Structure 1
Amino acid sequence: MPISTPVTIDYTGLSDSIQLFSKISQIRTSFYDFSDTLLKDGHVYHGISEVEHNLILKDSAITLLFPVIAADNIIGFVICDATGVSQERAHLAKTYIESISNDTLGKLLHTHIKILNPLSAHSVSQMRKFALLFKPTLNRIDQQPATNRTHPLTIKKTSSIDDILAYVQSNIRNPISLESVSQNVFLSPSYLSRIFKRYLHVNFIDYVNYQRVAIACKYLMLTNNKVSVISRQVGCAQNSYFSKVFKRATGMSPLAYRRSHAAVQKVLTIPRDLTWNDQDTIFDISRRYFKQLDCDFSMQTTNGYPYVNQIGPLTDSGSRGWLYTVNCHQPTQPSSNIVSANNAVIQWIYTSRVS
């Protein structure tokens, strides 16, 4: 089944390199991928109508189709006008195109690009025959919801995000930098930063800082540890830096936060992961999270607004109840009215003084 690379990729570098190759070699070369993107004559065309208008294939006997492989899947074809091209020149073209594809597209996708030998005219004919024979089946596949067709490169990227999140959560009590994480998950710092923002909608450094502050909030509420000790427990060697980050997130100094939350008895933390959707509400995310833990999570309605009255064994008892924070701030609206966009962490707090 065809699989496509995301249309958000910047193809400029590959397009320029292919155009230069065409001029030097006198082998007119184009690149097509299954996201309906065509690179031809220094231009990048997106969409089936633009591709159809600009892609003119000659007879298969004088057209070389080189399958393009990424993450063990065919993502498209390099198309060469083979008029007057010897086998030796065709092989050199394949080698050169593979090299420039890895220097451009491969680096963007963080994967190795492989160019296969060109398909023969007979192979192209057999592919056409296959498509005609299985057209009803292919139509049914194509009509499946788009959510069922996930590009393997996307799977690889989301797997990388999972690795990043796991590393951060495991090492949040130690010094963490973009460089240290990138080394441990085998990604470049710039690529890590880019895909992290794309998939989680939060800057990497902001995400790490909010996780640190959330843990610090919990320690301030539930322990008597000194601020200097808590600072080290969340990976901050300098108290001044910790206090600065903490105040920026919560609007309070660590000691002021401790005083205002002296009645807290339980804190439950939900760090952002790939299951969060920007349109999910805090209530949606929390209900899903606690359901996965097989933990009771129920709500009641007061004055037309739902509020959470039970998490686990702890229930609203009049003088005690649950409140929540998002990025270490307590919103004034119900959890069903706040969406998760750009947020990094949720905390549910059980206290005897509900505001």
Structure 2
Amino acid sequence: MTTYSPSQENYRELAHLLARFTSLTQIKTIFYDFTGILLKDDFVYINHSAIEDNLAQLTFSDYAVFPVSRNIQMWGAILCESVNVSKKRLFLSRSYLENLMTQIFDEDTLGKVSVWEPLTSDQVGQINNLHALFHPTGDTDPLQAVLAPNAVIAGHTIDNDEAFRSISLAIDYIQKNIQRPISLNEVAQRAYLSPSYLSRLFKKYLHVNFIEYVNNQKIALAQEKLSLTLTPINQISNQIGFTQTSYFTKIFKKKTGITPSEFRQRNHTIQKIYTIPRELNWDTNDSVIDVTKNYFKSHHITYHTDSEEGATYVNSIGELNDAKGNRGWIYTVDGQQPTQSADEIATHDKSVIQWVYTDYSN
């Protein structure tokens, strides 16, 4: 009998039913297909980086491993968290999970699916020993990480490196193409990720969703053009990738509190702007002044800071300083001017900082 591979719909249905099983029994459950597919939390993961990242987040202190076969071949493994779960419940879980799978996977086309009795800790240990024989250098793969006996799955540094490389590609692509329309699907393709996974990476590492990050970069660029050029607003809208000026105006007002024309009228005295887009080297605990200093140093821009009543401020950047009259440097974050000093604003969920040389009276 010729057997075929499960369809995407099969995997989606199985992921949904496993999530329902977890909800009903309070036994956290995942399925790993040895072809490189992970079912977890009602999602189907096929990207290797996404699988590693999700396995790294598992917090099973103890679990049962149920091997799964199709016909006479090993197919994958089901993991059930077994803390405070009796042997009887595990036995019933095995039966339930096998019945669940046989409902989804048609035996005539996919072969007979069987869920085996859970492996003992000794058996899992022997699998790890066998793995070590073939990977003496200590290299790991997703399956070996899953089968680590009675341990929280780690590999945090490796997984983060992989995720950081992917999101770095995404950020670099956004910054190079910020002057045209940018979609999540487009950037995900360039970063070799699924759109949903890239979206989750933005929330995890930048603490802002994808569209907010892109729009913050676009609005910062628009503020530069509105302040330093006489380009008509409809042309600026087109130059930064908005197909409709009305939509650009709506987003601009949402971010800044005023319309583009009002912004231009209020900020006609601006002489210079330094824009600092969010990068992955921003530390979680960095303040605006921390990020600013790092940026100026890395770009060889001279600056000087001072403090007054415990607050730090920038009084010169390049050749421009606030020593004369009422002109000087102010800063904005995501299009807004905070009332606190630059060392009091955390940047962990911010997308862009701008330093603006203008007339204080405005």
Class of the TM-score when normalised by the shorter of the 2 chains: 0.5 to 0.7
Amino acid at match of 2:284: D
Alignment match, 2:131 = 66
Q: Distance in 1 between matches of 2:183 and 2:127?
A: 53
For the pair 1:342 / 2:349, whether they are aligned, the reply is: yes
For the pair 1:199 / 2:214, whether they are aligned, the reply is: no
Alignment match, 2:298 = 292
1:234 to 237, 240, 260: 240
Alignment match, 1:83 = none
Amino acid at match of 2:160: T
- Whether contact under 8 Å (1:322, 1:354) holds in the other structure is no
Q: CA deviation at 1:281?
A: 0.5
Amino acid at match of 1:260: R
Alignment match, 1:326 = 333
Q: 1:61 to 1:250 in 2, by over 3 A?
A: closer
RMSD over aligned Cα atoms = 3.6
Q: CA deviation at 1:23?
A: 11
Q: Distance in 2 between matches of 1:44 and 1:163?
A: 39
Q: 1:305 to 1:189 in 2, by over 3 A?
A: same
* TM-score of the pair, normalised by structure 2: 0.64
* Number of residue pairs aligned between Structure 1 and Structure 2: 263
For the pair 1:57 / 2:104, whether they are aligned, the reply is: no
| Structure 2 gap segments, 5+ residues each | 1-51, 84-118, 148-153
Q: How does 1:183-262 map to 2 (within 5 A)?
A: 183-262=189-268
Q: CA deviation at 1:61?
A: 7.9
Q: CA deviation at 1:185?
A: 2.2
Q: 1:23 to 1:189 in 2, by over 3 A?
A: closer
Q: 1:178 to 1:10 in 2, by over 3 A?
A: farther
Amino acid at match of 1:184: R
Q: Distance in 2 between matches of 1:62 and 1:265?
A: 67
Amino acid at match of 2:169: D
Alignment match, 1:21 = 68
1:268 to 274, 299, 310: 274
Alignment match, 2:98 = none
Q: Distance in 1 between matches of 2:227 and 2:129?
A: 68
Q: 1:24 to 1:178 in 2, by over 3 A?
A: same
2:57 to 1, 6, 9: 9
**Secondary structure of 1:343's partner?**
coil
Alignment match, 2:187 = 181
Moved over 3 A (4+): 4-12, 22-27, 58-69, 75-78
Deviation string 1:305-324 (CA, Å, 9 cap, x unpaired) is: 22110111211123211000
- Whether contact under 8 Å (1:221, 1:261) holds in the other structure is yes
**Secondary structure of 2:161's partner?**
helix
Q: 1:320 to 1:157 in 2, by over 3 A?
A: same
Q: Distance in 1 between matches of 2:190 and 2:169?
A: 9
Percent identical pairs in the alignment equals 37
Alignment match, 1:43 = 81
Q: Distance in 1 between matches of 2:124 and 2:350?
A: 55
Q: Distance in 1 between matches of 2:124 and 2:337?
A: 67
**Secondary structure of 2:343's partner?**
helix
Q: CA deviation at 1:302?
A: 2.3
Q: 1:211 to 1:58 in 2, by over 3 A?
A: closer
Deviation string 1:254-276 (CA, Å, 9 cap, x unpaired) is: 00011111110001100101011
Q: Distance in 2 between matches of 1:175 and 1:151?
A: 34
Q: Distance in 2 between matches of 1:225 and 1:256?
A: 15
- Whether contact under 8 Å (1:243, 1:254) holds in the other structure is yes
* TM-score of the pair, normalised by structure 1: 0.65
Q: CA deviation at 1:153?
A: 2.9
